[in-house]
Structure 1
Amino acid sequence: MYSGISGMKGFQTKLDTIGNNIANVNTFGFKKGRTTFQGMMSQTMQDAQGPLGGGPGRTLGGVNAKQVGLGSKVGTIDNLHTQGNRQTTNRPLDLSIEGDGMFAMYESGDGTATGGGLQGNENVTFSRAGNFYLDSDGVLVNGDGKYIIGDQGNGTGLTGRAGALTIPSDAQSFSVQSDGTINYVNPEGETEVAGRVMLANFSNPSGLRKIGNNEFQETANAGWVNGPAGGPLGIDNLSIAGEDGAGQLVSGTLEMSNVDLAEEFTEMITAQRGFQANTRIITTSDEILNELINLKR
């Protein structure tokens, strides 16, 4: 009976994961989850034994252990960071990453860059959703108003708030290159550089923690390549798109969710059947207990 209960709990978690995947099938940059199971400890009724005797005089061969499993448990809930399909939007501030890497965003009280770096690394979050916008100052932000971290253009400082990755309001046009460089045409018709969007690269992106709003947070197991070691976030901690293993940027496109609806529906059916089978175990166990009680009558 308790083995059936453990199976029901595990399949409920699997169904929760599947439901979250299906709910985010149209979420930009969403990475699907996957639930795996492990067998729980087994009750050993008899240990394994080796052969009795030796050589030609051996009397009995070895026997295997006799064990009864006590159910299953959730082993892992993985975040699968496979590449999602690109959707063409033709909007220059919609960026998708072809390959590895994530956009870095910053929320700061004063929004300043200090000593060539940004203080308060706990406020740095990461995302694969590249639907960016311009605020009233012309600064590049995400949908929640967080500032996109990048190179100010001189190769020494990171973006803070005003004056970083800023496209002037009188610019005639602008474009984003595959390496993240933002070019704009000034009123005189000359091309200038507004800055460059940088990427954060991780050796184990599945180790990032989902915090909602299409954002991830660094953990001890994410393996931030060239990440800051206790100091402020600096330009050397980020990668140029297309270099150091980071992917390239594709302007005018957005990365869609990597959820496959056909796969999720199939997994949902198998999880539902597994849940029903475990309820049958509980029902059968209850019927056996009822028969034992009837024997007393």
Structure 2
Amino acid sequence: MSFNENARLDTSQVETGGGGGGPGGLVVGGGIGGIVLVVLALIFGINPGDITGSGAIPTGQSTVENGSGSALAAQCQSGADANRSSTCLVVGTVNSVQDYWAQELPKYGRTYTPAKTVLYSGATQSACGTASNQVGPFYCPLDKKVYIDASFFQILQSQYGSSGGQLAQEYVVAHEYGHHIQDELGLLDRAQQDPQGAQSGSVRIELMADCLAGVWANHAATTKDASGQTYLKPLTSQDIKDALSAASAVGDDSIQRKAQGRVTQENWTHGSSAARQHWFTTGYRTGDLNQCDTFAVQDVENPG
């Protein structure tokens, strides 16, 4: 999904440093522990640091410093910049996603509270613990921010077989903001209900975020910037294939096959490739957040 070249980007919604260290963190180790952490990280969940305990930024990894916002503002000014740069693509997607939900939630009597994205390289601190390039994108409910390592999209493509198309990358951002919407609606804690397995609360929360990403995609070509210019051009069939390739690449079954050579449903936390594709498609096809209630169906893998 390409940006309209004249769309104006608002870099104030994106930071290039950490959000302040808090309790918790992530110990990044080698061997099977490292594999498990990568598996957890690359399926767009809530920070694995919440699960694994305390730790520190891994030695030898760089942290993006605060204070480079002016450089980001100079680099990312228009939709044309978003079409040339993955960094600016994230900025533009954040703008589009937030403008859409700011217009949509009031229809349900809710006010949307903006959430910033932190773009970093190597590692930085969040209120949920350490964000690193081994964690991948996540939403931290403690500081209400999305964390994305600048190298993640390349990893998603080269190591996990996702398409390199723009909507594949935009899906990642929209999914994380789906968690913010869940937080706004008081649903995020439901991830702790039966936290593992194909029908768990964790899986249902993740598939709901996929669906909410699809809802945004449905409306993305009509969401406008402050000057009234639409951010994005209408979706093509190739755009949808790109998003579905990303959803498939990060299904629990796909990740497990790559990591351990077998599928163990009892350890699922995010849903199968097929389910992730199904729920994104549901959101995209209907454009209706009411269709994203994954807790209302008995079987999220085969909702009928």
Structure 1-normalised TM-score? Answer: 0.24
Q: Which has the higher contact order (CA 8 A, sep 6+)?
A: 1
Question: Which structure's CA Rg is the greater one?
Answer: 1
Bigger fraction of residues in helix: 2
Structure 2-normalised TM-score? Answer: 0.24
